[in-house]
Amino acid sequence: MVAGKNVLLGVSGGIAVYKAIALTSKLTQQGANVRVMMTPNSTEFVSPLSFQAISRNSVYVDTFDEKDPTQIAHIDVADWADIVIIAPATANIIGKIANGIADDMLSTTLLATLADVYIAPAMNVHMYAHPAVISNMKQLEEWGYHFIEPGDGYLACGYVGKGRLEEPAEIINVINNHQSIDPFLKGKKVLVSAGPTREQIDPVRFFTNRSSGKMGFALAEAAAKRGAEVTLVAGPTEMEVATTAIRREDVTTAEEMFEAMHQHFPASDIVIKAAAVADYRPKRVHHEKMKKQEDDMFIEMQRTKDILQSLGDIKTNQYLVGFAAETSTPLKYGVQKLTKKNLDGIVINNVSTEGAGFGGDTNIVTYVNKHQRQEEIELSTKQEIAEKILTFIDRDMKDEAQ
């Protein structure tokens, strides 16, 4: 994917600059047109002449070194670039970008470019874990910058840990994979629910289920990767989102999930209710711990609100997808649910099948749309299934629009 692209390689001042030489060479070998821009500190490690010889282009260092009077160099190169790579990216340059500081040619150009920017950090393990660096990276992720995580290993400072610049071949591999992604959900607002709910009995006990939230989180992350603006309503789970681009709202009970889903529903284009919500909750919640009795205990339960049905009743232009986790005749019950709840699509699986139960990393599902078109997805990772489900949704939405 870098072949034929204009690639601006930004080099900041760290010992890993020597790897940027190899990165320049590999980019050139793959057919990229590479220009290199160095911070003054980086020239203390490697001279600009080395990059010039490999890239066969002049190297930018000084903002005020305007070789062509008809152009402003940092604006010209910012507009020229299809892809920008910062490697190595020191804590200093990351901090500058995150805070809008433009005091050298590289930081100034980064404020002016509209190209995809990939940042490959390289620094001491403790610097990489510093709250300021973490905060700056989160801010840049929220703005749409892409990070290529450093590797673990022996660092120049003598420490062993995370902070070593990723190998040039892997940097290019990550960029190629990302550039090949079709952002077919760009401009869409996607709402996903994930995980279980908990219904309290007393201060130490509650009813819940085996849902881990993995499928819902995979859907949210896949939608964000495809360019969507994603809101994830998550029940109590240990899962963490892989990107800060996802807006996460944590809830505990079925009632809280009902309120959150209804709050975000009107502004959503696609709604996927993957959460396993409790159908019943204790009619009475005890505020003190219930003591063990000599006889059997009976807890009276009351019905919770049906979130999916309530959304199906009020949907206008939203594409609404539900999940049906069954243990017998799953297709029959799933299709009934699709029709009864006014859904546009449903994901059906038999949770008693090996490889398809709660908590696992894989699943086996059937996707059925409202026109009864069925798509079988054999045993696959939940990430792979999420990608396919979103592809089906996009296809059906385009069919409806015709």
Kindly list the catalytic residues: 157
Which residues in 39-110 belong to E strands, given as ranges? 83-89
Cβ neighbour number for residue 326 with a 10 Å cutoff: 16
Residue 310 DSSP symbol:
H
Helix, strand, coil share (%) of the chain residues, nearest 5: 35, 25, 40
d(CA 37, CA 95): 18
d(CA 139, CA 130): 14
One-letter amino acid of 402: Q
One-letter amino acid of 33: N
d(CA 29, CA 260): 51
Are residues 349 and 324 in contact, defined by beta-carbon separation less than 8 angstroms?
Answer: yes
d(CA 326, CA 115): 46
* Helix H or strand E encompassing 202: strand 199-202
340 burial type by CB count under 10 A (0-12 exposed, 13-18 middle, 19+ buried):
exposed
d(CA 183, CA 41): 37
Reference 91, options 62, 125, 60; nearest CA is 125
Distance of CA 300 to the CA centre of its chain: 41
114: helix, coil or strand?
coil
Distance of CA 385 to the CA centre of its chain: 15
Using only the alpha carbons of the chain, give its radius of gyration: 26
* Helix H or strand E encompassing 128: helix 125-128
Burial 210-247 (b: 16+ CB within 10 A, else e): ebbbbbbbbbbbbbbbbbbbbbbbbbbbebebeeebbb
d(CA 217, CA 250): 12
